[in-house]
Amino acid sequence: MEFTINKDFHNSRLDTFIRKSYQDIPISGIYKMIRKGNVKVNRKKKKQNYRLQEGDTVRVWESTQPTVKKTFPSLSDKLKTQMQRCVIYEDKDIICCNKPAGMVMHTGSNHQCGLSELLVSYTGNPNCTFVHRLDKMTSGLVMAAKNLRTARILSRLIRNRDFKKKYAVLVHGTMKIRQFTLETFLKTEEKIVRVHPDETNGAKKSLSTFLIIQSGAERTLLEATLHTGRKHQLRVQLADIGHPIVGDMKYGNVDKKKEMMTRMFLFSQSITVPSLDFHVSLDIPRDFYSHIDSEPNDQKKEPPLKGTTLLS
């Protein structure tokens, strides 16, 4: 099979292009194909990290046929309305969605459809892809690229930490320190993320800063800023200091109240990309405030942090 590289894949890695074209082949098989010379660029053998250029010819000697583009079902009127409400910003390259708690990002063994598939169906654009993700029970802002070029740019900015995310977090317990920083070393072990004392066992440095928005007798509302993007970072860090996120069934204690068991009070409130002069944010959901409970007498009530939307 022969492919001619267009502008959408310009500067993409060779292995990334092959993975996109042959999704049924495991990554180990793709690396083996490239290593053995069953994939050539302009009739020459290349390494897996070769950056493709527009106009390159990629020749693949493989019995497996390229992956057929997936078709997505038409959305019902109800789902169309939900997606209209979900999309809060859109331009020629970017879409930002307000993901509800309980919705998965991608289809899986227990989920026939995720936000990614719904967005593709809603836009009719198979190239729509999210450049970061939120856990199933986390709600709020998540960004998608409408084309492969923008996806590569945004992915690079995320790697270079030029992609700032802030969260609203409701945690158990009363906190006194108005502003604080947590630096921990996290490592995924099977299906859970654990805190390690240092990096010697493969744990990665994780950094977050926090600001108290409002504190009550039993719970505290925080603004959290991520400086690194580790799996379950905020959930693990806050649980580690004895202030787990309300509704976190994995790392926190389970609330007896039914409404606390059906969602996690972690909300992606804002996304800022300084180099693109891009910023978008949402108001903190009202129920984050209503579940704070009564305040201790010696705790001064801070005004709610008002969200704004500044679209580039």
CATH code: domain of residue 94: 3.30.2350.10
The pLDDT of residue 258 is above 80 = no
Are residues 152 and 191 located together in one domain of the fold? no
How does strand 44-45 pair with strand 39-41? antiparallel
Q: What is the DSSP letter of 43?
A: T
| Confidence category of residue 188, pLDDT binned at 50, 70, 90 | very high
- What total of structural domains would you count in the chain? 3
Q: State what percent of residues in the chain have pLDDT above 70.
A: 86
Please tell me the distance from the alpha carbon of residue 24 to that of residue 70, in angstroms, as a whole number: 12
End-to-end CA distance of the chain: 42
Q: What is the CATH number of the domain that holds 14?
A: 3.10.290.10
Residue 185 lies in a domain: yes
What range does the domain containing 30 cover? 2-60
Q: Return the pLDDT at 11.
A: 83
Q: Return the pLDDT at 298.
A: 39
Q: Return the pLDDT at 68.
A: 54
Q: Return the pLDDT at 17.
A: 87
Is residue 276 classed as helix, strand or coil in its secondary structure? helix
Residue 200 lies in a domain: yes
Question: Known catalytic residue: 135?
Answer: yes
Residue 72 lies in a domain: no
> Catalytic residue among 8, 93, 135, 162, which?
135
Are residues 175 and 266 located together in one domain of the fold? yes
Mean pLDDT of 111-140: 89
Q: Return the pLDDT at 15.
A: 87
Q: Return the pLDDT at 296.
A: 40
Higher pLDDT, 49 or 108: 49
The pLDDT of residue 8 is above 90 = no
Q: Return the pLDDT at 207.
A: 95
Average pLDDT of the chain to the nearest whole number: 85
Are residues 119 and 230 located together in one domain of the fold? no
The pLDDT of residue 210 is above 90 = yes
Please tell me the distance from the alpha carbon of residue 306 to that of residue 295, in angstroms, as a whole number: 20
Helix intervals (H) in the chain: 14-21, 27-35, 77-86, 115-123, 148-159, 233-240, 258-261, 286-290
Please tell me the distance from the alpha carbon of residue 260 to that of residue 275, in angstroms, as a whole number: 39
| Domain boundary, last residue among 102, 133, 159 | 159
Are residues 283 and 169 located together in one domain of the fold? yes
Instruction: Return the residue matching tokens 């859109």.
Output: 90
Are residues 39 and 107 located together in one domain of the fold? no
Q: Return the pLDDT at 310.
A: 31
| Confidence category of residue 26, pLDDT binned at 50, 70, 90 | confident
Please tell me the distance from the alpha carbon of residue 281 to that of residue 283, in angstroms, as a whole number: 7
Are residues 185 and 252 located together in one domain of the fold? yes
Mean pLDDT of 161-187: 94
φ, ψ at 112 (rounded to 5°) = -75, -25
Are residues 286 and 184 located together in one domain of the fold? yes
Instruction: Return the residue matching tokens 């505290």.
Output: 220
The pLDDT of residue 124 is above 70 = yes
Higher pLDDT, 243 or 110: 243
Are residues 54 and 130 located together in one domain of the fold? no
Are residues 260 and 202 located together in one domain of the fold? yes
